[in-house]
Each structure stands twice: as structure tokens, then as C-alpha cells.
Structure 1
Amino acid sequence: MKKINLLFLCYASIFCACKQERPKTEDLSEKLKGSWQLLSATTTEKGKQTITDFTKDQSMIKIINDSHFSFLRHSLSKQAGTGEGFDAGGGRYSIKGDAYTEFLDFYKDKNWEGKTFAFKVSFAGDTLIQTGIEKVPEAGVDHVITEKYLRIREK
């Protein structure tokens, strides 16, 4: 009986020791949810880099809940009634690890609507950094974009 118990203990020890640990992927979905102020967008197309500062002349926010995202952008110009510079869109999203995918279900430019955009996301404190490829042949767009957002806190 002691030999059987000892043999069982040996097999159990070997089985447990051989079990491989899967690397854990951090769940970023909770960090992602909230309201975000776009600080800057850097696009790279054909080796040319363009940086847009969203803290001057225009403002843009992104709102992310459990299943959907939306964004709103407008000009900070005091010229009333033009509607110029207004932009809005949104849709569903998915996130697995740092892979964030937007399904643009709603957008004023129908060339973009219905497209899927894959990004990698990371966080540095209250800053969300989102990098991916925006490719919309119908609109002549094919570039890498990195957007930096700051979490909007309640006042």
C-alpha cells in the first residue's frame, strides 16, 4: 500500500511539474472604457510623417463603453454656424490583449463606413496610445496612425 501511495505521489509530482504555464495576457478592456481627449495624431504615409495637435484649433473626444465606441471632433473657431471641422463616427469594437479592433458602423463619409481597423493599444498612466493602419482605398487613405489620448476625469 505504501508503494502505491508513493508511486501515485511521484506521478502527481511529475504531472504538476510538467504543466506549462501559459503567458497571461493582460485584460485591457476595463482600462479602455471611459472618455478620452485626443491630444495628438501622428500619421506616416510613404515615409512622410505628419503630426496633428488636437489641443489647438480643434478638439476631439472618444467615448468607449462595454461594446461600442464613438468619437466627436469640432473646430475651436468662434465662427458660428459654419459646421466646418465637425466630424463624428462610431461603432462596435473588440479587444483581446492589446489588439483593439474598431468596426466603423457609423460615419459621415460613407467611404469609411463599414470598414474594420486593427490597432495595438497601450497605456502610460492616464494616457492611451493607439497605433494601427488606416486603409480606405475609396478615400485615398493608406497610412499608419498613432493617436495619444488623455483620460477625461470628472471635475
Structure 2
Amino acid sequence: MRKNFLFITAITFLFACKGKSDSDNQKLNIQGTWKLVSGTITDKKSGKTTPYEMNFEMIKIINDTHFAFLKHSLNKQDTLGFDAGGGSYELTIDKYEEHLEYYSNKNWEGKKFDFKVSLINDTLVQSGVEKVEKEGIDRVIIEKYIKKK
């Protein structure tokens, strides 16, 4: 009887002291403010890859549950050159899934976008598919961000 009590106590203690799972320990820390420094678009239909023109600046802000991005034209005369959006996200190890809840173009709202992310020092790389049927968009994007201090 005493052996059973000790065994049950030991098992209970082990489960009570269990820390984070391995997947929690491997999750990337992507929280912060990120500045886009480069990107490419590959159209899935044509296969053509085009680098971002970078005639704009963009930041992405990520907290523990949500993301937001702000993008504006570098052309001072372009008064309509502003774009923004955001929503919630989920991160599992290196799988990053955005749920776009707010965006100036309503055809994009409610969409889910799956990306793979990698983090090396202060550089975040995000790659995945953007597919928005109502806009005729089906492309692979790769974006590189630098963490702002």
C-alpha cells in the first residue's frame, strides 16, 4: 500500500512539475516592430518572380496575439499611398498563420494566410502563399524584415 502511495505521489509530482513542451521551447520570438527591407512575388500561374520595387516603407508590429502592418509611399506627392491592415495570428514553431481581420480592401478581409518564418539574429524571413480569389491573386511571397530597436 505504501509503495502505491509513493508511486502515485511521484507520478503526480512529475506531472505537476512539467514545464513547457518541446514545441513551446522551439517557438520563435517574433514579437516586436519589424521594418520590411526586401521582398519578392512569384505568380503561381505564370511562374514569374518579381522583386518588390521598394518605393514604399512598411513596418509590421507583432505582439503576443495580433499583428498589424503600416505601409506608405515614399513619393511625397502621393497622397493616396497608404495601406494598413491587421488581425490575429497563430505561431507553432516556424508555422505562422495570419488571420486578416482588418484591411482597406474588403476582398482580403477574413482570409487566412499560411507562412513559414525563420529568425536569424535581428532578421525575420516570412514566406508563403497569398491567395485571394476575388482579386485574382495566387502568388508566393518572400519578405525579409529587420527588427527595429
**Is TM (by shorter chain) over 0.5?**
yes
Give identity over the alignment, percent: 52
Distance (whole Å) between structure 1 residues aligned to residue 59 and residue 27 of structure 2: 23
> Contact conserved, 1:98 with 1:122, CA < 8 A, in 2?
yes
Letter in 2 for 1:90: G
Moved over 2 A (4+): none
User: Matches of residues 6-155 of structure 1 in structure 2 within 5 Å?
Assistant: 24-25=22-23, 26-28=26-28, 31-45=29-43, 46-54=46-54, 57-79=55-77, 82-153=78-149
Number of residue pairs aligned between Structure 1 and Structure 2: 125
What is the rounded CA distance, in whole Å, between the counterparts of 1:133 and 1:104 in structure 2? 14
* Paired letter, 1:32: I
Letter in 2 for 1:42: T
Q: Which residue of 2 aligns with 1:11?
A: none
Consecutive unaligned residues in structure 2, runs of 5 or more = 1-20
Q: How far does residue 53 in structure 1 lie from its aligned partner after superposition?
A: 4.2
Cα separation, 2, equivalents of 1:145 and 1:64: 19
State the structure with more CA Rg.
1
**Per-residue deviation, residues 72-127 of structure 1 (Å, max 9, x unmatched):** 00011122xx4322100000000001000000000000110000000000012111
Are 1:39 and 1:53, in contact at CA under 8 Å, matched by a contact in 2? no
2: CA distance between counterparts of 1:88 and 1:47?
28
Q: By how many angstroms is 1:24 displaced?
A: 4.0
CA RMSD of aligned residues (A): 1.4
SS at match of 1:148: strand
